[in-house]
Structure 1
Amino acid sequence: MATARFPGLALGWLTRAVQDDRVMYGYLAIHTVGWLWGLRFLLRKWRDEAEIKPPQPKTQYITQETEDALKLDTLDTMLHHYNHAIRETASKIVCDRAVNDRDTVDRLLWGITRPDYDERMENLRALAIITDPQSLEALHHWKAYAALVRSLELCLEPEQEVLGQEDWDEFPLRDMTEKLCLIFISQLLNNYGPQKLIKAKFVEKWLAKQNWGADLDTRRSNFSHYYRTRRNRITDIIASVRSTDIGLEALEIAGLQEPESPPDSDVEIEINDGGQPMIERFSVLLPNNIDVNGLREDERARVLLRSLQSAQSVEEQRVRHRHREAIVLNDGSRPLNSDDIIQRPESPTSG
């Protein structure tokens, strides 16, 4: 009976609920929210499916074979591309090709030695663009150093002011071509040393031709004061040149530095001037009536004589070796022959 009565109760409750306005309003509200949410979900899904997404670019690396395969017209097109990354990559490829091409580098080095200022400046800027610290080795040869020194020679001012005792630094006021050459030289010295620069006659052809003064003493004084008080690329180059013996000799010959006397000059003068042998000079330490042949092996006088004889022999060998030194006058522009070698004359005591 309970089961038969349940449909009737349910139907009666439903009839009363339908007649209640609040239940109807709630049902309509829930139904409306559900339809709106479902419609929004369907529209969003349809939008995502209809959207055309661009394919993601794949990361690709340019190999050396790819760079070598690029033709000049292709590189020219890449250099004028609207994308900055493509232009930068093309510029690097062009610079790498230029710095690794010996003919291109030689042509630029020839251009920086031209008397025309604009041509020289154009080639210097091109050389600065294609080189970097990794490719600087392409300029580490005789022709490059000679070209840089020649370019500096063309920058010399006939009416340059005396580089005197002033406290201000004139380097920022120098010409741009001169500063570019000094930048190249400074970078080369930091990596490879000053030997090739000195052999290219940098001191004689440019440094000594700066206006250091009229007389020799003034030149040496101004040069020394400039080196001690300035801090620029010129003083850095001078410091590198002074760090070698051939650099000091070049500065002395150019009259920029006083010659330094060797520390053993007093001994050489005594020997070269025909002075007494070392044993005779130390005879005051021995008795006047001593018989050398009658001395025993263990006596102090005989030990002293042996030590003096040994010291004299070593000194004579050193002086004889020094007198056999030679000067080679060859800048590398021609084959070496016997006329380029000037030997030091033999000393009277060298035997």
Structure 2
Amino acid sequence: MPWDSSINARGMAGLGLMAITTVGLYVGVRALLQPYHAANINYPPLPKTQYITQDTEDSLSLATLEKLLKHYNFSIRETAAKIVCDRAINDDDVLLVLLLGITRRDYDERMKNLRALAMLTDQHTLHRLNTAEGISAFVKSLEQCVLTTEPDPGADPDESMIDDTSFDEYYLRDIAEKLCLMFLAQLTEKFDVDLLVRYGFVRRWLAKQPWGPPAKRIDNFARYLKYRDNRIADICRRLRDSPSGRRALEKAGLVAPRHPLQPKLQLNLRAAAGAGERPSSAAAGSSSGTAERDSLRGMAAVEAATDNHNSLGDMDTEAMIEAARAVLTVLDAAVSANEGRATGEGDVGDASAGSRTGQPRPLSQSSREEQRIRRQHREAMVLNDGTRPLRRDDIIERDSDSG
């Protein structure tokens, strides 16, 4: 029916109008309440910054830092002190003034500058002191400690630092000396000892320590490195392991010098061992026995001399002379035996005794040239790596000729 369709259309239109009105009211009311809602929200407070940036540090003046250093708050005073230290250690002029201060003869001024350097530096800024100015300043400060120390009138001149192996005198030294050694120990551990050697640490301070009489300085120094575990011993071990440092220690008379003739001596021993090998002929038995006995005596003399080595296998002058004389004795005995065989005595012996195959040896093979070639082809093995003295049982010789 027509009236039913008109009622349905009016109902649908009314429902749509109601929905539109409802949505419009919601949006309008929400828009009206939005400013009041934002104004009444309570946000949590933001945490305060616990650090300052680099720009803030650079903007602080010296007068401001001085006031902050006197602040009642400990954290503020600590932060201000860190800023001042960081500025000072990175300023070349300030660092040079402090290094110059530790070289002064006045004890109080040296201590003031040493304590300032100890406060300024850490493991991140230690490289600022590893310069020619820094190392020379520390060496000069140590030299001033030696010059300003009054000698004990009742001290024994022959007394050394190693008289008692269970007592370490380092901890009783002056604090100025220990501060300098602390810096040098850290620098040599992190870097090297070349600058320390260049600016005379061994000559200007280490050699002036009480190492005892000249005849015992080397032994006392070696014992000190063996029994002590302090900063002086640490620095000395690094010097000893460095080529330039070892040369400085040798020049100061604290380490036995290394003789360049030692390799030649070993070569002479090998040549003497090859020349003193027992010949195959029966007639040359007496001469070879004498040469071998001389060789054994010479090797015994060399062994006795090399037993007197100092540290690292170095021989003193008297031991080197005795070893050289022993080698000359061995070589003279070997040359005499070879000349006897070359003049005809060895020829008769070789012909009468025969060779290994039962045939007589030709005379041409007993000439001087043939003897030289045979000695050249002899072989010997020396089982010694240089860490201990050379002994007779270290040389293994062949029992037969190769030719």
Contact 1:186 1:236 in 2 (8 A): yes
1:24 maps to what in 2? none
1:185 maps to what in 2? 184
Bigger mean CA deviation after superposition, 136-145 or 221-230: 221-230
Q: CA deviation at 1:184?
A: 0.3
State the percentage of identical aligned residues. Answer: 47
The two structures, once aligned, show a CA RMSD in angstroms of 3.5
Q: Is residue 135 of structure 2 the alignment partner of residue 137 of structure 1?
A: no
TM-score for both structures, normalised by structure 1: 0.61
1:95 maps to what in 2? 85
Change (3 A) 1:291 1:220: closer
Change (3 A) 1:133 1:287: farther
Mapped to 2, the partners of 1:267 and 1:164 lie a distance apart of 35
Mapped to 2, the partners of 1:152 and 1:265 lie a distance apart of 42
Aligned pairs (5 A) from 1:27-176: 57-156=47-146, 157-159=149-151, 162=159, 163-166=161-164, 167-176=166-175
After TM superposition, what 4+ stretches of structure 1 lie above 3 angstroms from structure 2?
54-57, 267-270, 286-292
Mapped to 2, the partners of 1:208 and 1:189 lie a distance apart of 19
Change (3 A) 1:158 1:246: farther
Determine helix, strand or coil for the equivalent of 1:155.
helix
Contact 1:165 1:225 in 2 (8 A): no
Change (3 A) 1:226 1:180: same
Determine helix, strand or coil for the equivalent of 2:218.
helix
Change (3 A) 1:287 1:148: farther
Change (3 A) 1:246 1:265: farther
Deviations 1:255-282 (A, max 9, x none): 1111123442427999xx9x9xxxxx9x
Which residue identity lines up with residue 175 of structure 1 in the other structure?
A: D
Determine helix, strand or coil for the equivalent of 1:242.
helix
Mapped to 1, the partners of 2:177 and 2:224 lie a distance apart of 18
Mapped to 2, the partners of 1:265 and 1:216 lie a distance apart of 29
Which residue identity lines up with residue 234 of structure 1 in the other structure?
A: I
Q: CA deviation at 1:219?
A: 1.6
Deviations 1:154-197 (A, max 9, x none): 11135265313213111111000000000000010111011111
Unpaired stretches in structure 1, ≥5 consecutive residues: 1-53, 276-280, 293-300, 306-351
Aligned pairs (5 A) from 1:280-295: 287=365
Which residue identity lines up with residue 84 of structure 1 in the other structure?
A: F
Mapped to 1, the partners of 2:69 and 2:178 lie a distance apart of 29
Which residue identity lines up with residue 183 of structure 2 in the other structure?
A: F
Determine helix, strand or coil for the equivalent of 1:211.
coil
Deviations 1:248-306 (A, max 9, x none): 11111101111123442427999xx9x9xxxxx9xx8x9555999xxxxxxxx79x79x
Q: CA deviation at 1:241?
A: 0.7
Which residue identity lines up with residue 257 of structure 2 in the other structure?
A: P
1:200 maps to what in 2? 199
Change (3 A) 1:220 1:69: same
Aligned pairs (5 A) from 1:193-232: 193-213=192-212, 215-232=213-230
Mapped to 1, the partners of 2:100 and 2:172 lie a distance apart of 26
Q: CA deviation at 1:132?
A: 0.6
Change (3 A) 1:289 1:231: same
Mapped to 2, the partners of 1:220 and 1:71 lie a distance apart of 57
Q: CA deviation at 1:200?
A: 1.1
Change (3 A) 1:269 1:91: farther
Mapped to 2, the partners of 1:146 and 1:124 lie a distance apart of 14
Contact 1:204 1:254 in 2 (8 A): yes
Unpaired stretches in structure 2, ≥5 consecutive residues: 1-43, 270-323, 329-334, 339-363, 378-403
